[in-house]
Amino acid sequence: MKPTIQKALNKQINEEMESSYLYLSMAAYFEDQNLAGMAQWMKAQSIEEVNHAMQLYTYIVDRGGKVELQAIKAPQLSWKSPLDAFNGTYTHEKHITKCIHDLMDLATKEKDHASTAMLQWFVTEQVEEEASTSEIVEKLKLIDSAPGGIYMIDKELASRPMPQLQLAPAE
């Protein structure tokens, strides 16, 4: 694995772990607001981001590279409203999409076909991530701050299943 690719993948592990920490902080915010469904959604999202980091970790190891973990910055701790939090989620997912696209561009430039193939999964995943968060934002905008609407969206988001934490490749 070329050093440029290894460095960029290690940076993306950090991005994914920071994403996980941000979503866990959002879950704590929602717990404090008695919005258990939104907290559930964010906890599931947090686990999903750890799984993404582990996919990259495993890929680096499988390619004979060296995983070099970096410090994770402290996340934001509070938001003005559920809409503000989910707007932040959507904005953050667009940031992650840009990071993945930059990685794909680098892998293409470096003619690293294995990394390009692996990263294609992340490109597709980001389409889903942006779509799901955008949908929640639009629903929250529709209801504004109507308590009944917040209750209904909270109940809907509670149905998101909790993913399994994948610290090792699936067998």
CATH number, domain of 35, equals 1.20.1260.10
- Asked whether residue 158 carries a pLDDT value surpassing 70, the answer given is yes
Residues 69, 49: Cα–Cα separation, whole Å: 15
What are the angstrom distances between the C-alpha of 62 and each of 16, 56, 58, 65, 116? 19, 10, 6, 7, 15
Is 46 part of any domain? yes
| Amino acid (one-letter) located at 123 | V
Is 171 part of any domain? no
Is 58 part of any domain? yes
* pLDDT bucket at 169, cuts 50 / 70 / 90: low
Is 77 part of any domain? no
- Asked whether residue 46 carries a pLDDT value surpassing 80, the answer given is yes
How high is the pLDDT of residue 154?
Answer: 96
CB neighbour list of residue 122: distance below 8 Å, 6 or more residues apart: 52, 100, 103
Tens digit of each residue's pLDDT (9 = 90 or more) over 53-97: 999 999 999 999 999 999 999 999 999 999 999 999 999 999 999
Tens digit of each residue's pLDDT (9 = 90 or more) over 5-43: 999 999 999 999 999 999 999 999 999 999 999 999 999
- Give me the number of domains the chain comprises: 1
| Amino acid (one-letter) located at 59 | Y
Q: What angle do CA 94, 139, 153 make, to 5 degrees?
A: 110
Closest CA relative to residue 86, chosen from 135, 52, 43: 135
Is 163 part of any domain? no
Range of the domain at 18: 3-69+82-157
Is 168 part of any domain? no
Is 75 part of any domain? no
Is 169 part of any domain? no
How high is the pLDDT of residue 104?
Answer: 98
